[in-house]
Chains A and B, each alone.
Chain A
Amino acid sequence: MSIRIDEELCTGCGACQASCPYGCIEIIDDKARITDECTLCGACVEECPVEAIILEREEIKAEKMDISQYKGVWVIAEHYNNKIHNVAFQLLGKGRELADVLKVNLSLVLLGDDFDDKLEELGQYGEDEIIYVKSKILKDYYSDLYVKTLTELIQENKPEIILIGATPTGRDFAPRVAKRLNAGLTADCTGLTIDLETRNLLQTRPTFGGNIMATIRTPSSRPQMSTVRPGIFKIAPKTNKKAKIRKINYDYKQKDSVTKIVKVISREKIKINLEEAEIIVSGGRGVKSKENWHIIEELAEILNAEVGGSRVTVELNWVDHDRQVGQTGKTVSPKLYIACGISGAIQHIVGMQGADIIIAINKDENAPIFKVAHYGIVGDLNKVIPALIEEIKKTKKDLKKNNL
């Protein structure tokens, strides 16, 4: 197993050097040279315009998997307190798209109890089928029971793609299921497309703290599993279609799990859900002080919006940690996102670029936030925001008048 450069073909163009996330390629005498630090990640191979980089895998005398046996797209639902996590509906939207490209069925897999009377409504989000595994104990999340049940279901039904929300729950069971199946799993994806020729799922995810994006594929084995970041894809539209319901009863007992849930503790704080907000007004370093933060709150109030903040505003304690938008905070996709005094570091951008409309207000006309913004206002936010609040009041008043 090794990587090498075909020196006859190599033109020393340097495309590979730019693509290497580890900085392991040097250009010496117009030829690329790979240093010992190379991790064999393979990122350079596709980049080479003359196919001079060869990544050799040792041939293993193992039976090659017949990947054509695997058909269909699955979305695994997660729930708490008998409420399905929103990411499942986002995955149904994306899953429908992928299933249509592949011309296969889309299934929602739900492990729970007490969902019987909700299945019909749940079946209206574009899926062809709901696989409902019912067991009393599954009203709560048990890592080992999820792993066991899902592995068995997957082995029996052989879906080619499995999408799971990248929540602490999804990211708990997905790797273990993947390992038991010896299947490829890609974490925390933010982009999913199909390469129709190979039927491979191309899974794009931020890596190195959001500084670079990597597209990952699982070319020779199935199923292809992804955990997908919540808030990236739009919720599937409700249809009149009704999914077929397949109910499987399991008689799990407490003793079937190696773990026991002792209790659930609610954290004492205001429950906010930035991921579901339609409008978010966020502030950054440009707000200047905690005392001045009210200006962000006032704009949010008039728009009936949630307040968000960049990482630095959380570190400076201007705003609560739950409201941080970005790589280390929440990923949001509201209808409207207003960034006030936020310069637009890539770590922030990855958390909000999914918004339908982005407005940036910043003093520095060269701030990178303007590159993602749909509307940019260069100016002092202390002057712009009060003027904007007045204008919004006026616009809303006019609209009300016209509607009467």
Chain B
Amino acid sequence: MKIFTCIKQVPGISDVKIDPKTNTLIREGIPSIMNPMDKNAIELALSIKEERGAEIIAISMGPPQAENVLLEALSMGADKAYLLTDRAFAGADTLATSHALALGIKKILKDSDSNEKYMVICGTQAIDGDTAQVGPELAEDLDIPQITYVQKFELKGDDKVIAERAFRSEEIVVIETKLPVLISVLKEINTPRFPSMLGIVNAYKKKKVVFLDAEALKAEKAYIGLTGSKTEVFKIFIPERKGEHVKLTGTIEEMVKTLCQNLKEDKIF
């Protein structure tokens, strides 16, 4: 069985701060990291491999420097890694991104020339865009079933898939389907392992990241990159903080008294 894990290189946004003077993002020193939930995807692939054997293929679309996150995936234990990189892919929205990934997966399946079963595992969403759209759009492009927001997963027998999907804060639904399938996982599903020393050595010495461009994928321009995107960014801005800035004054007793009078007028009481 082949397990594809989709990886995205993202800015480590928890470090992003706003410059209060210029009201712009401070970007210096923000590292590029592997999207956290993608690590959960790799971890799930590794646990399936350990249980029943599988070939894990990490795949990403991005600029050449995204090779780093694929090397990290190889270090964690992925067997192969492919980077779809080409200026023609740039400016892609989720629709165009999912198409490039689908072409990559189809090519790898076709070139391997076997009728093995396969599945695709994605992180539910990336921390930069937070769209959670690429997974389902990729499943549609590949024409396979999808189960999203998965927090528990099991493969039974030859091709039976059982997954727990967190669809409301109060309920979990257990869904059954068959391979091939795409699942998108939540961070609750497992704890990703750290790459071992041997894993890192192997990734850099024995394995390599294969680069594929638009031509290699026989991609039609109308469906990739900026041209293949239906949505476009109209503008980007730093959120405004609204409010009337009424700072109450006086002693604590006076302040709470004024506050309660105001709330009475506002019909809160």
Q: Which residues of A contact B (CB under 8 A)?
A: 1-2, 18-19, 21-23, 36-43, 46-47, 55, 57-58, 60, 62, 80, 141, 143-144, 147, 167-169, 171-176, 178-180, 182-188, 202, 206-221, 258-267, 269, 271, 279, 322, 335-336, 346, 349-350, 353, 356-359, 365, 368, 370-379, 383-384, 387-388, 390-392, 394-396, 399
**Which one, B10-18, B42-50, B195-203, B204-212, is touching chain A?**
B10-18
Q: Are the C-beta atoms of B241 and A336 separated by less than 8 Å? A: no
The reply to whether A213 and B260 form a contact with Cβ atoms under 8 Å apart is: no
Residues of A within 8 A of B164 (CB): 265
Query: When the two chains form their complex, are residues A37 and B63 in contact, meaning their CB atoms are under 8 A apart?
Result: yes
**How near does chain B come to A276, taking the closest CB pair, in angstroms?**
12
- Which chain B residue shows the least CB distance to A36? B63
Contact yes or no, B256 A259, CB < 8 A: no
- Interface flags, B160-192, vs A, CB<8A=1, else 0: 001011111111111111100000000000000
User: Cβ of B231 and Cβ of A184 under 8 Å apart?
Assistant: yes
CA distance A283 to B226 in the complex (A): 44
| Pairwise interchain contact A265-B93, C-beta atoms closer than 8 A | no
CA distance A170 to B129 in the complex (A): 17
**Chain B nearest Cβ from A385, distance in angstroms:** 9
Which of B52-60, B110-118, B132-140 lies on the face that meets chain A? Answer: B132-140
Contacts of A182 in B (CB 8 A): 95, 230
Chain B residues contacting A186 (CB-CB under 8 Å) are 231
Q: Can you spell out 13 A-B residue pairs with CB atoms less than 8 angstroms apart?
A: A18-B22, A37-B63, A42-B226, A47-B235, A168-B165, A202-B234, A209-B130, A216-B232, A217-B232, A264-B173, A336-B268, A377-B247, A394-B260
Within the assembled complex, what's the spacing in Å between the Cα atoms of A100 and B268? 31
State A275–B153 Cα separation when bound (angstroms). Answer: 30
Find out whether the CB atom of B268 lies under 8 angstroms from the CB atom of A216: no
Is B133 within 8 A of A38, CB to CB? no
The smallest beta-carbon distance between A143 and chain B, in angstroms, is 6
Task: Find chain A residues with CB under 8 A from B175 CB.
Answer: 259-262
Please determine whether A384 and B252 come into contact, CB atoms closer than 8 angstroms: yes
Q: Is the CB of B264 within 8 A of A399?
A: yes
Given A179-B98, A353-B242, A396-B269, are A209 and B16 neighbors across the interface (CB < 8 Å)? yes
Question: How many angstroms from the CA of A19 to the CA of B139 in the assembled complex?
Answer: 33
User: Once the chains bind, are A175 and B174 in contact (CB under 8 Å)?
Assistant: no
Q: Which residue of A lies closest to B264 (CB)?
A: A395
- The chain B residue sitting closest to A322, CB to CB, is B169
Select which of A38, A176, A218, A266 is within 8 A of B137 by beta carbon: A176
Task: Name the distance in Å between A218's Cβ and chain B's nearest Cβ.
Answer: 5
Q: Are B177 and A349 in contact (CB under 8 A)?
A: no
What is the CA–CA distance of A267 and B166 in the complex, to the nearest angstrom? Answer: 10
Chain A residues near B132 (CB-CB < 8 A): 171, 175, 187-188
Report the Cα distance A60→B129, complex, angstroms. 27
Given A40-B90, A47-B235, 11 more pairs with CB closer than 8 A: A23-B28, A175-B94, A175-B135, A176-B136, A179-B140, A187-B131, A260-B176, A265-B174, A349-B241, A387-B256, A391-B259
Closest B residue by C-beta to A37: B63
- Rounded to whole Å, the gap between the CB of A17 and the closest CB of chain B is 8
Please, how many residues of chain B have a CB less than 8 angstroms from a CB on the other chain? 93
Q: Are B172 and A216 in contact (CB under 8 A)?
A: no
Give the residues in chain A near B166, CB-CB below 8 Å: 168
User: Does any Cβ of A come within 8 Å of B248's Cβ?
Assistant: yes
Which B residues lie within 8 Å of A22 (CB)?
Answer: 11, 27
Leading 3 A-B pairs by shortest Cβ distance: A40-B91, A184-B230, A187-B131
B172 and A42 contacting across the interface, CB-CB below 8 Å: no
B157 at the interface (CB under 8 A from A): no
Q: Is the CB of A266 within 8 A of B170?
A: yes
| Chain A hits for B91, CB < 8 A | 1, 39-42
Shortest A316–chain B CB gap in Å is: 17
B88 interfacial by beta-carbon distance below 8 Å: yes
In the complex, what residues of A have CB within 8 A of residue B236's CB? Answer: 19, 21, 41, 43, 212-215
- Interface positions of B from 212 to 244, Cβ below 8 Å from A: 221-222, 225-227, 229-239, 241-244
B136 x A172 contact (CB < 8 A): yes
Q: Which residues of B contact A394 (CB under 8 A)?
A: 260
How far apart sit A393 and B140, CA to CA, in the bound complex (Å)? 58
Q: Are B256 and A384 in contact (CB under 8 A)?
A: yes
Q: What's the Cα separation between A323 and B13 when bound, in Å?
A: 23
B108 within 8 A of A: no
Complex CA distance for A219 and B269, rounded to whole angstroms:
47
Answer whether A218 and B87 are a contact pair too, CB < 8 Å, given A172-B136, A387-B252.
no
Nearest-neighbour CB distance to chain B for A167, whole angstroms, equals 8
In whole angstroms, how far apart are the Cα atoms of A132 and B136 in the complex?
A: 25
Say how far A362's CB is from chain B's closest CB, in angstroms: 11
Given A172-B146, A187-B133, A259-B175, CB of A42 within 8 Å of CB of B244:
no
Cα A11 to Cα B149 in complex, Å, equals 48
Contact partner, B247, options A2, A370, A383, Cβ 8 Å: A370
Distance between A303 CB and nearest chain B CB, rounded to angstroms: 8
Is the beta-carbon distance between A185 and B231 smaller than 8 angstroms?
yes
Task: Decide: A55 and B245 in contact? CB cutoff 8 A.
Answer: no
CB <8 Å contact, B137 and A178: yes
